[in-house]
Structure 1
Amino acid sequence: MSDDNNLSRSLSARHVSMIALGGTIGTGLFLGSGESIQQAGPAILVIYLITGFFVFLMMRALGELLLSDTDSIIFIDFIKKYLGPRAGFIMGWTYWLSWLVIAMSELTAVGAYMQFWFPHIPSWIWELAFLLILYLINIVAVAAFGETEFWFATIKIVAICAIIITAIVMVIFQVRTNQGPVRLSNLWHFGISSGNGRELIGAFQMAFFSFLGVEFVGVSAAETKDPLETIPHSINSIIFRILIFYIGALSAIMVIQPWTDYSAGHSPFVQVFAGIGIKSAAGIINFVVLTAAASSLNSSLFTTGRMLFSLTPRKHYFAQLNHRQIPMRSITLSTIIVAVCVVLINYCFPKDAFKMITSVASAAFLIIYMSLMLAHVKYRQSADFKNGPELFQLPFSPWSDYLTIIFMCFIFVILLVTPATTITTILTIIWFLVIYYFSRRVPAAAKK
């Protein structure tokens, strides 16, 4: 293992741009949006716009913090700096655990997608095979990770653009399918929502989950060649991504096929082509959503390895880099935990695994994001901001900070009162109480 504990800056602007571009296009959109459409109907477009707006504000706050100190290993460092060592300790370990949970959800999705082609082969075999391949990619070189993510993101982006173009062409030529004519009025012809207020509000949870991982640009900042240029560009492009890849894609599939024909638990992108009788296209889309899950899993392994490396004391076994400047030991431990847990969860809860895992991740990330906004408020009040350069500032701060925190509290309450997510949200609260207790019992850990 290397004595030099500085992470490799091997990610190019091309890598970071695609990582940021593909970071918000994952299982939440390709798989979870099926449940969102069923719950909210076309009103899901408004829900995504509202959620995306506050996510963008959060990312602008993160971007301002990142550019104030580009040497920070991970954005949790800013929570530690401005909210105190104990807050950094709690949020750091929670963030690590949350990305482990994200990895579990992506692995669960991988198994579900492979069932499309191989329904008789147990899901866990595919899950472990994908996990092993991506683990090997992560321990080879940072550039290998960046290149893999570049092509994963490219596949997702091309596929979504193709779906949008297909919908436009079908509308122009008034194509008819087994479900009826393809027309723009399909967005409102069957009603603009399910009419169930509880389901409408509940759809915010899956919309929020779809954006989890958007802050990944903050994790990769320490390994970016030119963060002052690449980070602002990547963050500012989020609005474009939300409009095209969420609003555009979901509008397209609801135009091609009435939203009432979609079911939860299956990718609406696969359902739309299977529903109009194009089986080969359904297979292609299934491949695309499979790469989306693999992309998110790849990012999860990257993040959990860096987090564990950042959280452990410098001379600790898991705080060492190999000769390629990669935290291989931390990545290995994180991968093993993911493998064991996902097999257990899918064995014990085969039908509810995805919903259970996503709700745990959403609740934990909400608290982390709220802490990030509070850290930004404290930064604005500090000498670092008053004496530093004016770089990439969050507009209308601190009011935009407070509005974002209020919105995230609203999502958390939804998770808490929704029967399907109440237990997992309570478990998340218990986790925070346990880690807070641990931080007080082991003061040295919280003061690193």
Structure 2
Amino acid sequence: MASEKVTEAPEEGYERGLGSRQVQMIAIGGAVGVGLFLGAGANIAKAGPSLILMYALAGAIIFFIMRALGELLLYRPVSGSFAEYSREFLGPFFGYFTGWTYWLMWVVTGMAELTAAAIYVNYWFPGVPRWVTALVFLVVLFGANLISVKLFGELEFWFSMVKVTALIGMIVIGLGVLTFGFSAAGDTASVANLYQFDGFFPKGVGSSLMTLQGVMFAYLAVELVGVTAGESEDPEKTLPKAINTLPWRIALFYVGALTVILCVVKWTEFAPGVSPFVKAFAVIGIPAGAGIVNFVVLTAALSSCNSGMYSTGRMLRTLADNGEAPRAFAKLSSTKAPALGITVSVLFMGIGVVLNYVVPEKAFGYVTSVATAAGIWTWLMILISHVLYRRAVAAGRLPASSFPAPGGSVFSYVAIVFLLFVTGIIAYDADSRVCLYVMAVWAVALGIGWQIMKSRTPQTGERDEPALEKVG
């Protein structure tokens, strides 16, 4: 009975156009972003070499989250998974709140990434107005998402390929400097750089822990593989493979890359606002290093914005299917894409084009902190849904997943405590706690919207049972 196969709801309607190659690279790309390429510089200045440990710790928690999500995905693989599982295990309001909050996360992230991409282009073409560059990127990515999911997958594949190849190249060069001592950094590059400048925790354990909010931002989007479930050609094979490769991706791209960089260049030479990769290449003496890394970071920003358009459209359709957003969002175009949902999301992201005129420098940090808070909510909903699912399986009410998380619910509880701790850090930090105020206003707005929808449509949040065999 526990081995019964769960089938997806037939009304999904999406094209299963994402192959194994694309899902794998989307999963890899989700673990490599602007948070690493740019954010690590400020965090190194705050925590020194101990930042490596913070990335490893957070990476372990992310793996627990993804294994919990993986078990749910193989129980019922549907697009808009987080909202669906929140709705099923916690109730309609939580599905509604999670779907809209995930939409918010990607919209504000899209604004930030468009602004960042325009800044990166100014490196080569300082005379081009930033709003023009941001608008061009917005239109191009919008068109790609409307044409077909295959084109989205192909774009994301190559975006991720650039990031991954660049990171591997940086690691290989750094190891070469450490092993053979070539380049301008050869005389000072050493593993001893990890501990000989005021130790591994040069500014104390407390300062290291304060970087966790920035570290978690760097891992945002890793859960995107869950949104692809409804459009993967063979979710039972591609999704477990993508999730199980997460540990080595974190070990290589985050822990490995930072370790090599901090061995090649002592941590005291890094500063906020400067990519540690650009700095390392400058110290090594590679003239084109800054330009290469600038291209890679531009690719990372476009990749994130591309993923945002993809996920927001799917979330709006999931909400519409459940009566929690206008029904028009539920319609698919002739290419089986949620065109209206993508269009509306892009219009909101377009606010980022306008903000290129008026947003002060701190606004980018505020926007990313809001994205982090929204991401933490999404991760908590995944974990809580997983705990409740495991209880239902143990009671014989639901069939077991073919991809159970190791340790059952134990690691989900560990991850929940960790995320609550990070939320406490955000509240403690004066620069980042503004996002909690924004989220409070967002919660009130969604609560009002929920009450209005319920008064107009009493069945809001209700839907037929999912197309699966319920046990017991």
User: Aligning the two structures, in what range does the TM-score lie when normalised by the shorter sequence?
Assistant: over 0.9
> Partner of 1:402: helix, strand, or coil?
helix
Give runs of aligned pairs for residues 291-370 of structure 1, distance below 5 A: 291-313=299-321, 316-340=327-351, 342-370=352-380
> 1:201: which partner in 2?
209
Give runs of aligned pairs for residues 194-233 of structure 1, distance below 5 A: 194-233=202-241
> 1:398: which partner in 2?
409
Deviations along 1:67-120, one digit per CA (max 9) or x if unpaired, are 001245433201100100111011111111111112122112212222322234
> 2:421: which partner in 1?
410
Once the two structures are TM-superposed, the CA of residue 45 in structure 1 deviates from its matched residue by 0.5
Once the two structures are TM-superposed, the CA of residue 434 in structure 1 deviates from its matched residue by 2.6
Change (3 A) 1:71 1:241: same
> 2:431 aligned with 1:420, yes or no?
yes
> 2:112: which partner in 1?
105
Contact 1:179/1:257 (<8 A) preserved:
no
Q: State the number of aligned residues.
A: 444
Deviations along 1:21-54, one digit per CA (max 9) or x if unpaired, are 1111011111111111111111001001110111
Change (3 A) 1:17 1:396: same
Contact 2:216/2:372 (<8 A) preserved:
yes
Once the two structures are TM-superposed, the CA of residue 173 in structure 1 deviates from its matched residue by 1.7
Contact 1:379/1:385 (<8 A) preserved:
no
Q: Choose the corresponding residue for 1:94, options 81, 101, 104.
A: 101
Once the two structures are TM-superposed, the CA of residue 385 in structure 1 deviates from its matched residue by 7.7
Contact 1:5/1:321 (<8 A) preserved:
no
**Matched AA of 2:173:** T
> 2:382 aligned with 1:382, yes or no?
no
**Matched AA of 1:250:** L
Deviations along 1:391-418, one digit per CA (max 9) or x if unpaired, are 2111223222211111000111111110
TM-score between both structures, scaled by the size of structure 2 = 0.89
Change (3 A) 1:216 1:351: same
> 1:42: which partner in 2?
49
Counterparts of 2:283 and 2:127, CA distance in 1: 23
Counterparts of 1:165 and 1:97, CA distance in 2: 38
> Partner of 2:384: helix, strand, or coil?
helix
Once the two structures are TM-superposed, the CA of residue 300 in structure 1 deviates from its matched residue by 0.6
Once the two structures are TM-superposed, the CA of residue 263 in structure 1 deviates from its matched residue by 1.7
> 2:438 aligned with 1:431, yes or no?
no
> 2:155: which partner in 1?
148
Which deviates further from its counterpart, 387-396 or 154-163?
A: 387-396
Contact 1:171/1:182 (<8 A) preserved:
yes
Contact 1:346/1:353 (<8 A) preserved:
no
> Partner of 2:344: helix, strand, or coil?
helix
Counterparts of 1:277 and 1:125, CA distance in 2: 34
Counterparts of 1:183 and 1:5, CA distance in 2: 54
Change (3 A) 1:263 1:125: farther
Change (3 A) 1:348 1:415: farther
Which deviates further from its counterpart, 74-83 or 312-321?
A: 312-321
Give the % identical residues: 37
Consecutive aligned runs of 4 or more in structure 1 exceeding 6 Å deviation: none
* Superposition CA RMSD, Å: 2.0
> Partner of 2:181: helix, strand, or coil?
coil
> 2:8: which partner in 1?
none
Contact 2:78/2:227 (<8 A) preserved:
no
> Partner of 1:48: helix, strand, or coil?
helix
> Partner of 2:81: helix, strand, or coil?
coil
Once the two structures are TM-superposed, the CA of residue 66 in structure 1 deviates from its matched residue by 0.5
Once the two structures are TM-superposed, the CA of residue 320 in structure 1 deviates from its matched residue by 1.1
> Partner of 1:128: helix, strand, or coil?
helix
Change (3 A) 1:61 1:71: same
Contact 1:257/1:272 (<8 A) preserved:
yes
Counterparts of 1:308 and 1:51, CA distance in 2: 29
> Partner of 1:200: helix, strand, or coil?
helix
In structure 2, stretches of 5+ residues that fail to align are 1-10, 464-472
**Matched AA of 2:77:** T
Once the two structures are TM-superposed, the CA of residue 254 in structure 1 deviates from its matched residue by 1.6
